Amino acid sequence: MIIAKNDRIYLREAVPTDTAFCIALMNTPGWLEYIGDRNIATQARALGYIQKSLIDCYKANGFGLYILCLVESNDPIGICGIVKRDTLDIPDLGFAILPKYEGKEYVYEASVLTLNHAKNQLKMDQMLAITNHNNVRSQKLLERLGFTIVLDSDYDGEGEVLVKYSLDFSMTSY
């Protein structure tokens, strides 16, 4: 199901046939460095991830991480969506993209679509975002989207201190 769309990209729910894409994305240098190794190297592990971390989240929360696709080709190029973590009281924005598509504004556009969806369809009042201290590119994107730094705190459950951002929808035009 398509969640949101513009002229260049769209966000859709993940399906079991997205396994090869998930393996490719989750083993990119950026994913491994800034998000972490999820040990998704086989079709079976990718299918398990898609079911548990994506599809089950849509059912449980009414939202989740969506597959970011090009309108022109329908090719999946990244993910973007809303994550409900046990460690945060408010859902957060998450995104990642294949290296080939970095620097082309796709993540920015997908984030805008996601934030519009969160505010207007899901009726959310606020969104968080967390990122690794070294991920300057993501930090700049979050600030461009209107997020402001809240504080540094341990949100990954493994002792890594992350930068926490917040966005109040009443203060934005999303």
8 A C-beta contact, residue 114 and residue 82: yes
d(Cα 13, Cα 89) in Å, to the nearest integer? 24
**pLDDT tens profile 95-153:** 999 999 999 999 999 999 999 999 999 999 999 999 988 899 999 999 999 999 987 66
Q: Give pLDDT, residue 88.
A: 86
Mean pLDDT score across all residues of the chain: 93
Exposure letters 74-94 (e unless 16+ CB within 10 A, then b)? eebbbbbbbbeeeeeeebbbb
d(Cα 47, Cα 152) in Å, to the nearest integer? 33
Q: Please name which of 111, 64, 59 lies closest in space to residue 85, comparing C-alpha atoms.
A: 64
Q: Catalogue all structural domains in the chain, each as residue range(s) with its CATH number.
A: 2-171 (3.40.630.30)
* Residue 157 DSSP symbol: S
d(Cα 77, Cα 96) in Å, to the nearest integer? 9
